[in-house]
A and B are shown apart, each in its own frame.
Chain A
Amino acid sequence: MADSTKQNNKAKNNLLATAAKSNTAGILAIIIIASLVMSFTQKEFATAVNFNVIARSFSVMAIVGLAQMVILGMGGMNLSVGAIGGLVGVTVGGLMATLNWPISLAVIAGLFVGATCGCFNGWFINRVHDPLNRLNVTSFLVTLASASVFTGINLGMTRAVPIYGLHDSFISVSRMTIGGISVLILIMIPVAFTVAFIMHKTSIGRQMLAVGGNSRAAELSGVSISKITIFSNIISGILAAIAAIIVISRLGSAQPTVGEGWLLFSFAAPLIGGTKLEGGQVNVSGTVLGAVLLALASNSLVHLQVSVYWVTFIHGLIIVAAVGIERLRTISAEKWGTYIHE
């Protein structure tokens, strides 16, 4: 009898495993169907202009999502992605417009600020982390606090006044298209590839996922949890910085409010895409597609002339659904997985 239940469980396991794996395909299908429906019902939807509108917005969302995904993968969370973005935005803008730094130096400085913020997060998490607690609880609290710190520096420096007068060539980058495709996609794709390479192909990436999957097992195998915490937060900070630099280029000015709405999307994109909330498993292409889906939904709402005031509500629903689906997937996997008898 025990054998038959086990087989049963295994069958269910396989089904779920397949479902989890086909996640990417599922999102792709939803995206295609939604796009087709929109194209047939809304005249302005299927135009090159609109395509690039969507592309610009999902490029940023995808990179923000990756910034969160990296941390989710190692079993933590980063509530300060938006705050890091804001601080990087005004730094780059300020260096360029006020101190007249060349673009390349300003961008490098921006990435450095992002990395430093991440490094601070990682260091602080290590300082206050009690191994008996889960890493995500500690990182939740630390990044909640540091988000306020970063935003505080941002507002203190700028007094909430946007910085105008960025170099024209910097602004024009985000408006460029190559073969009709927004250049932002061409920036996002190599970024995503690099993240995928780090997470799946390098030793440190595997160590990050090992910590997320089972920090005790990782530690017993000689993985340094504190080193991994710092490293993954630096990567997250750099990704947030890249996203922020793209946004100020798009806006043409460094708004201190850059990054304000990022937090929810940063969780939604990876969770829709099959990244596990409790760590150990990430999906880069899924995260990118999750961002596409979110951008598509926002854009469709505009075309369907849904009141702006209700857009937030619908975003909320999408995110609740994303988290719900992720939870369902995990819980059912646990329920039907082989249980360990006492």
Chain B
Amino acid sequence: MSKNQSDQNASVLLKTNDISKSYPGVKALDKVSLSLEKGKVHALLGENGAGKSTLIKIISGVISPDEGTMHINEQPVSFINPRQAFSSGINVVHQERNVVTTFTVGENILLDAIAAKDFKIINKEQIYQDSREFLDMVGLEISPSRIVEDLSVAEIQLIEIARALSSRANILLLDEPTASLSLNEAESLLKTIRKLRDQGVAFLYVTHKIEEVFEIADMVTVLRDGKKVESTLPIHELDRSKLVSLMVGRPENVEPFPVRQFQNKKPALEVKNLKSKFSPYEDSFTLIEGEILGWYGLVGAGRTELARALIGYDPATGGNIYVKGKAAKIRSLSEALYRWGIGYLSESRKEEGLFLSHPITRNIAASVWRKIRNRIGLLRIGAEDRLADYYSKKLAIKASSIYQIINTLSGGNQQKVNFAKTLATEPEILIVDEPTVGIDVNTKRQIHELIWDLSKEGISIILISSDMPEIIQLTDRILVFSEGQICGELKNTKDYKHMSKQIIGLCLKEEGLTG
């Protein structure tokens, strides 16, 4: 037994014990333990805000954990910067690309070496020769002297992996490496990973694609709201539906909102065969007045892309939109908002929704300056304050005053201000993208109530969410997205067991077709 134990430990390269990390108002990671073994691929799954990127940041030394320890080769380590993690043999390929596009392939691969000495004459031929070894390792057949700028996303992805390998890393963290790749490109990347795995590299592989997990992973950890869902499971103990049900989680013990009927209501929005550059498949659907239409799908299923085509962010390249029966050509966000009354709340409220360093008043007024200014274009005295007062009360925004800076509010209250900002334009249709990501469970219910009340006031709402309980508790009807398009429509009976089975069925059917 003890021999067996030590054998197992010998293959463990990295181990985290009960790592926790909190941000104001939300626990990003809660006692997460996992281990990466030599020659194994450890898949890490979970929805947005589940804590995957926080975990990667901690392992790679970008941030430090509040609690918990980390061991490499059974030696305790704690990193204060990425350089330290790096010299311990950990390398990360981030989701966003980190290459110098004006440099050659070889220079990018050996950038670490170039940075190591300042006053050294660079021999490009030597660099190209040295980098070839790593290009071969990732199976990329391009000249090291090519400029990165002209390469495809997949090739750049492989170059980043080659760069990670050039540092002789034996622990590689890959954050959604196939997110921007085509099927063929992804396939060849997986092949490379398998090869490196067989050479003894330990992988932590973050992905949203269930198909891939079964192709590549040796073990699987699912995170949800910062916690591990069950324990780490070896892949042979899982099948598709088990994995999906782990990812979407169990319903919390809260009452769903009542079932409503919309037989005699008119459509608020009809969309026929809409497509755009980023949403290439034609989609059609109808939104009834005063209903909450859920868009369910895993991240990357094409929901945000369709919404963006709808609101003119990525202008539509085909199809028709009818708002209250009138044909609408929507070419920009302001047209969607001010002419057609379609408001959109982005899933990244901090980047795309709020002015973080400004007070509540200015944030809410930002979308309606044209309404609250006087004839010569100055803001009417007190108008901002009146707006902020009204919406603070209406949405029960908790703040010391309406002049409080957004940054200092909790996530839930920030989201309420975000809602208020869009509501101030008095939209008739509201598209809400992942409204409760990164918001604690208690405030979640408040946001749900807010959405419900808005729909009762007659606003038609599209709720984009990858949170299964949220979709089932809140919506009247559900569109399921998969692989970039709508793959099914369900009437929501709000019976969790029944509905979740149907939704998962729709998701898997699509996966099965392409897989």
- Check if A and B associate: yes
In contact, A17 and B149 (Cβ under 8 angstroms): yes
In contact, B97 and A340 (Cβ under 8 angstroms): yes
Q: What chain B residues lie within 8 Å of A206 (beta carbons)?
A: 103, 107, 114, 122
Per-residue CB proximity of A261-291 to B under 8 Å, as 1/0? Answer: 0000000000000001000110000000000
**Which residue of B97, B115, B118, B179 contacts A221 across the interface (Cβ within 8 Å)?**
B115
**Which residue of A214, A223, A281 contacts B99 across the interface (Cβ within 8 Å)?**
A214
| Residues of chain A from 67 to 89 with CB closer than 8 A to chain B in the complex | none
Q: What chain B residues lie within 8 Å of A281 (beta carbons)?
A: 102
**Which residue of A214, A217, A341 contacts B180 across the interface (Cβ within 8 Å)?**
A341
In contact, A342 and B304 (Cβ under 8 angstroms): yes
Does A209 sit at the interface, judged by CB under 8 A? yes
**Which residue of B83, B100, B149 contacts A209 across the interface (Cβ within 8 Å)?**
B100
Bound CA span A213–B99, Å: 8
Bound CA span A96–B508, Å: 84
Q: Which of B111, B115, B182 has the most CB of A within 10 A?
A: B115
Does A202 sit at the interface, judged by CB under 8 A? yes
Does A196 sit at the interface, judged by CB under 8 A? no
Q: What chain B residues lie within 8 Å of A217 (beta carbons)?
A: 98-100, 108, 111
Distance to closest chain B CB from A74 (angstroms): 12
Per-residue CB proximity of A25-58 to B under 8 Å, as 1/0? Answer: 0000000000000000000000000000000000
In contact, A13 and B305 (Cβ under 8 angstroms): no
Q: What chain A residues lie within 8 Å of B179 (beta carbons)?
A: 341-342
Does B82 sit at the interface, judged by CB under 8 A? yes
Distance to closest chain A CB from B180 (angstroms): 5
Bound CA span A283–B73, Å: 48
| A340-B180, A342-B304 known; A333+B149 contact, CB < 8 A | yes
| A338-B152, A342-B305 known; A209+B103 contact, CB < 8 A | yes
Q: Which of B86, B98, B117 has the most CB of A within 10 A?
A: B98
Bound CA span A270–B196, Å: 44
Closest to B147 in A: A17
Closest to B110 in A: A221
Bound CA span A202–B182, Å: 38
In contact, B150 and A17 (Cβ under 8 angstroms): yes
Does A180 sit at the interface, judged by CB under 8 A? no
Q: What chain B residues lie within 8 Å of A127 (beta carbons)?
A: none
Q: What chain A residues lie within 8 Å of B118 (beta carbons)?
A: 203-204, 207, 227, 231
| Residues of chain B from 107 to 166 with CB closer than 8 A to chain A in the complex | 107-108, 111-112, 114-122, 147, 149-153, 163
Q: What chain B residues lie within 8 Å of A205 (beta carbons)?
A: 122
Q: What chain A residues lie within 8 Å of B200 (beta carbons)?
A: none
Does A303 sit at the interface, judged by CB under 8 A? no
Does B241 sit at the interface, judged by CB under 8 A? no
Does A134 sit at the interface, judged by CB under 8 A? no
Q: What chain B residues lie within 8 Å of A340 (beta carbons)?
A: 96-97, 153, 180
Does B101 sit at the interface, judged by CB under 8 A? yes
| A222-B115, A333-B149, A338-B153 known; A209+B102 contact, CB < 8 A | yes
Bound CA span A2–B118, Å: 43
**Which residue of B115, B122, B151 contacts A218 across the interface (Cβ within 8 Å)?**
B115
Does B280 sit at the interface, judged by CB under 8 A? yes
Q: What chain B residues lie within 8 Å of A245 (beta carbons)?
A: none
Distance to closest chain A CB from B205 (angstroms): 20
Q: What chain B residues lie within 8 Å of A221 (beta carbons)?
A: 111-112, 114-115, 163
Closest to B148 in A: A213
In contact, A214 and B280 (Cβ under 8 angstroms): no
Bound CA span A2–B180, Å: 13
In contact, A218 and B100 (Cβ under 8 angstroms): yes
In contact, B119 and A204 (Cβ under 8 angstroms): yes
Bound CA span A13–B108, Å: 20
In contact, A203 and B122 (Cβ under 8 angstroms): yes
Distance to closest chain A CB from B441 (angstroms): 28
Bound CA span A250–B304, Å: 64
Q: What chain B residues lie within 8 Å of A13 (beta carbons)?
A: 149-150
| A17-B150, A340-B180 known; A207+B114 contact, CB < 8 A | yes
In contact, B98 and A214 (Cβ under 8 angstroms): yes
In contact, A14 and B100 (Cβ under 8 angstroms): no
Q: What chain A residues lie within 8 Å of B305 (beta carbons)?
A: 342
In contact, A201 and B121 (Cβ under 8 angstroms): yes
Closest to A3 in B: B182
Distance to closest chain A CB from B104 (angstroms): 10
In contact, A203 and B102 (Cβ under 8 angstroms): no
Closest to A224 in B: B115
Closest to B97 in A: A340
In contact, A337 and B149 (Cβ under 8 angstroms): yes
Q: What chain A residues lie within 8 Å of B102 (beta carbons)?
A: 209, 212-213, 276, 280-281
Bound CA span A35–B105, Å: 40
Does B369 sit at the interface, judged by CB under 8 A? no
In contact, A202 and B122 (Cβ under 8 angstroms): yes
In contact, B278 and A14 (Cβ under 8 angstroms): no
**Which residue of B98, B163, B280 contacts A216 across the interface (Cβ within 8 Å)?**
B98
**Which residue of A203, A212, A341 contacts B120 across the interface (Cβ within 8 Å)?**
A203
In contact, A203 and B99 (Cβ under 8 angstroms): no
| A2-B182, A333-B149 known; A210+B103 contact, CB < 8 A | yes
Q: What chain B residues lie within 8 Å of A213 (beta carbons)?
A: 100-103
Bound CA span A213–B121, Å: 20
Bound CA span A280–B117, Å: 19
Bound CA span A204–B147, Å: 19
Distance to closest chain B CB from A284 (angstroms): 15
In contact, B100 and A280 (Cβ under 8 angstroms): yes
Closest to A280 in B: B102
Distance to closest chain A CB from B25 (angstroms): 21
Instruction: List 24 contacting pairs A-B, 8 Å CB cutoff, sorted by A.
Output: A1-B280, A13-B149, A13-B150, A14-B150, A17-B147, A202-B119, A205-B122, A210-B111, A210-B114, A217-B98, A217-B100, A221-B114, A222-B116, A227-B118, A276-B102, A333-B149, A338-B151, A338-B152, A340-B180, A341-B179, A341-B278, A342-B179, A342-B278, A342-B300
Binding site for A on B (CB under 8 A): 82-83, 86, 96-103, 107-108, 111-112, 114-122, 147, 149-153, 163, 179-180, 182, 278, 280, 300, 304-305
Beyond A203-B115, A210-B111, A340-B180, 15 additional contacts (C-beta under 8 Å) are A1-B280, A10-B150, A13-B150, A201-B121, A201-B122, A214-B100, A214-B101, A217-B99, A217-B108, A218-B111, A221-B163, A223-B115, A280-B101, A338-B153, A342-B300
Q: Which 9 A-B pairs have the closest CB atoms?
A: A213-B100, A280-B102, A217-B98, A221-B111, A281-B102, A203-B120, A222-B115, A223-B115, A213-B102
